Structure 1
Amino acid sequence: MAEPTTLPQPPDAAGGASARELLELASQALRARRMGEVAEIELAIQWAVIHGQPRDDRDPMVEPAGNGTPALREHAIPELAMARETHPLTTRALIADGLDLAHRLPLTWAVVRAGECEPWVARKVATITRGVTAESIGTVDRAVSRAIRGHAPSTVLEIARAKAIEADPEGHAAAREQARRARYVTLSRADEHGYRCVIAKVTAGDAAWIDAMVERVAQILRTTLGADHNHDELRSVALGWLARPVELLKLLLEHTEIGTDDETGEVVRPAWMPEDALATVERFCTLPARRLARLRNRGQLFVHVSEAVLRAGRGVARVEGVGPVDVRQLHEVLGNAEVTVTPVLDLRGRRRVDAYEHPEDVKDHVWLQTGGDCFPFTPRTAVRDGVDFDHAVPYRSPDTGGSPGQTGPHNSGPLRRQHHRTKTFGGYSSRVVGPGRHLWRTPSGLAYLVDHTGTSRIDAEQAETMADSVQDGVEIYVGHSLAYEPA
């Protein structure tokens, strides 16, 4: 007989407590967590208040919350995000929800501040009702404040949605029309097994035809791949065929009988083939193989793999835009594409150029050296084509006293466009303090180091020492220093 599972012992603060006392401690911990979240929201509101006026004409203001709430400086948001160790968009959402609660949903906000409900539910209500006008939001606030204490979150959110429609039917109709036009196709992030979801919003008619085509290809693949694949797996494989139109057309033609009507003599087309497709098919059949090969899509893919993994054929590779995958899965990413392998870049060289523009080889060096967007607490999910290569120390033309060799890995970092704007106009500064190491300082004097370990906060004295020493070719690390010869 198996031994009974031993439950983990309670923490020291609850050691020896009875069941009733543990329940009381659980209630106290719940309230403490809620009040901690309330404190975060209040700090975000106050941050918006003290940054409610632009510094100059080039300091943009934004209104992240709903109608009737104050604006704040756009470039003040990332500094609070750094202090909270979050992405600026996460902090912007917190500020927006806080302003909505304080200015548009005061009755609900009072319940939240008393610790009598889950703050995340109130924040979700603020998001749901953001489009309701300031004149009508009171109807929602009164209903939600009565329900949020004792009802389940799903019930509260349902009440909020219903009251939002009731309070502002015209606004709801406009939002519904806007949603109808907001069509898209996007990809999820890769999971731990290297698979992604294709997410699309299309018309009902297009969705039906896509589904029918996927089903037809899946039926064909059942005969070619064998019966050891389940139907959902075959449909997933079939969707990938839609990205290869030449191969797809060949597959469909090989498994479709096209005959003639016995009475009229007209060609009988399959359902998937439009009326003018026969002429197109005949044209395809006359094209030489080289011309057909050119119909393939072209693209550039960055795959990072160590020499040891490459030699062993086992391990992890990182594919930009996808994430980490088993190196044996690379064939799934590359498919049957024609692959051109470019030489590995030697990161020991530190080329510098005089021009403002970054040459492509310098961009490659900076990108590989940094590994992604170098803004503090930013996920490394950016792709090379989606960033600006920014001079850490602003470039000065030689005509105005600028020194030679300002552009290179020693003075460059990849930044998404929004982060680039924040650095340029928001009063932030950065320095490259070693290969792949970026020192950031905020308008209020906070300092952060971004390197291969992530983002860490450092004190102002350390930051000053790092910034000064790198000019002499010395990298300063916590606890030791490492000298290198400047290029």
Structure 2
Amino acid sequence: MLALATGALRTRRLAEVEELRLGIQWATIHGHPRDDRDPMVTPGGDGTPPVREHAIPELAMARETHPATTRALIADGLDLVHRLPRTWAVVEAGECEPWVARKAAVLSRALLDDQVVKVDRAVAKAIAGHAPSTVLEIARAKVIEADPETHRAERERSRHERYVRLSRCDELGYRHLIARVTAGDAAWLDAMVDRVADILGATMGADHNHDELRSVALGWLARPVDLLKLLLEHTDSDTDTDTETDSTAPDAPSWASDHLADTVGRLTAMPAHRLAQLRGRGRLFVHLTDEALRTGTGVARIEGVGPIDVRQLHEVLGHADVTVTPVLDLRGRRRVDAYEHPEVVKDHVWAQTGGDCFPFTPRSATRDGVDFDHAVPYDDTGPPGQTGPHNSGPLRRRHHRTKTHGGLTTRVVGPGRHLWRTPHGQAFLVDHTGTRRLAADQAEAMAEAIDVGVELYFTEPLHYERA
């Protein structure tokens, strides 16, 4: 059944490829006007050929779709053939999901023909092994990198499209509030709403779920005086370790007018993270090149946010107090004898792996959203140094449970390289290139080699070399 599932996957992919080929051929056949009154359109991006506009609906009828849907198929196919040939080669071979390649074509359509090469190279390398969300994140980053000026202009235009809107009132007297704000403002609003909800949960009784309390808390933001009073009454500034906080402020606020200056002073002296009561210190992992650090221009990838222009970092950070932590030296061999992973080991494993190491899973997890699992289960009576990057991988909780109870086994077979084997003999290698299927004898050789300290890197199926 597993073999049939793999075969059905390939059959479907190749069928979708054939649909794309038919769209491309139809566009080629109708690439010239019949007369002066036969309009031509260019559905694809720069560098793709035009097609007769009135020829598209007939193909749409044959496909039983709307003309706009068929036009999109033709546009994506032409883009893949003429602008993203490396990616198209992977699609034609049935080694990836065609819809992901089509989405990459849409994301890069505004680029000029000579600019889209960067996107093609990056997507072609990633699309066969990484999860769709990871591939599309790479595509977005390369689009920004290929044409930063257009991205800045689009960002400036988007800045004027922020809004806060209300829906109509329903029959029970409730409305939806929808807003488009910066990522940093959204994080702080969410933290403040959560903090007020926690306070209300302690004062309103137990007959309220958390979502309901967050809804009530949002209403408090419209009453700033009441909100500040509530926050100050439930925030102990004396326990704040921030040196900027005035530890001599009174223990409780006075709301008489003659004490207003003291109250305002206390508010301004208290950092935002104290009022919002963020759960400890937040950790933000930002990936960027040394050139971006040096020049202040380029693309940064923020875990949980995605690719952005380096100059947008301040929007994500908002009003946070920032402490920059040095990058870890991954050449170190950090090992401990305890079952628990120390923070420095977690940092090492996370930086080395780059995300959840479960096969074909998106790399969208954040460091605080994963468990650090021993690949080979920890043995209380076993040898020392069992906990470290050599025997650990980050897993979302559901994937952790699947590994524990589903009969899956895994081994760390090199820095950031995880070998997975299933109960029915399937084997997969997860590394920086994504997930690749291995033959059973390849997996066995890799597992045996790592036991004696040798890493195997396969160059061709069933052949390997020592590293």
TM-score of the aligned structures, taking structure 2 as reference length: 0.48
TM-score (norm 1): 0.46
User: Max radius of gyration: which structure?
Assistant: 1
